[in-house]
């Protein structure tokens, strides 16, 4: 069964990148999120590969691996790859499904198009990024 748009919006609302967005703006992000089903064992991201999408696990589990070693486990509601929406950097880890997975996926292309049409979302994302980076300076 596919998620309703309000359920997608709720999942997206927990992502720090969208912390300053209104419900309407979160719904716009949810509107560009595709829902996909993947088999156990599928690599959702590969360490070193270019990042081009952001994912939220709707159902299922996955392991996060760096240099072949497990460093974390993900479950429903967890997300990864949000920085790929705004900056094309190589993936810092491999994420591999440890069960069948249903995920929401937002591609960088769709996200950039949304930002071009919605400067208010663009400003709020920039604010969230600045807050995230500031403690590291």
pLDDT tens digits along 107-129: 999 999 999 999 999 999 989 88
d(CA 131, CA 64): 25
What is the pLDDT confidence band of residue 27, given thresholds at 50, 70 and 90?
very high
Bridge partners, 43 (sequence order): 96
CA-closest candidate to residue 82, choices 13, 18, 4: 18
The pLDDT of 71-77, averaged and rounded, is 96
Chain centroid, CA 123 distance in Å? 18
pLDDT at 132 over 80: no
pTM of the model: 0.86
The pLDDT score that the predictor gives to residue 78 is 93
* Class of the CATH domain delimited by 5-136: mainly beta
């Amino acid at each position: 069964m596919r998620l309703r748009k309000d359920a997608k919006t709720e999942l997206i609302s927990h992502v720090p990148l969208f912390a300053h967005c209104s419900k309407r703006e979160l719904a716009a992000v949810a509107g560009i999120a595709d829902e996909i089903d993947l088999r156990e064992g599928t690599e959702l991201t590969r360490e070193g590969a270019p990042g081009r999408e952001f994912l939220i696990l709707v159902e299922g589990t996955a392991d996060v691996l760096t240099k072949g070693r497990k460093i974390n486990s993900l479950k429903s509601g967890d997300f990864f790859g949000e920085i790929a929406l705004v900056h094309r950097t190589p993936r810092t880890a491999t994420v591999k499904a440890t069960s069948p997975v249903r995920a929401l996926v937002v591609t960088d292309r769709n996200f950039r198009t949304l930002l071009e049409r919605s400067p208010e979302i663009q400003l709020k994302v920039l604010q969230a990024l600045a807050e995230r980076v500031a403690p590291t300076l």
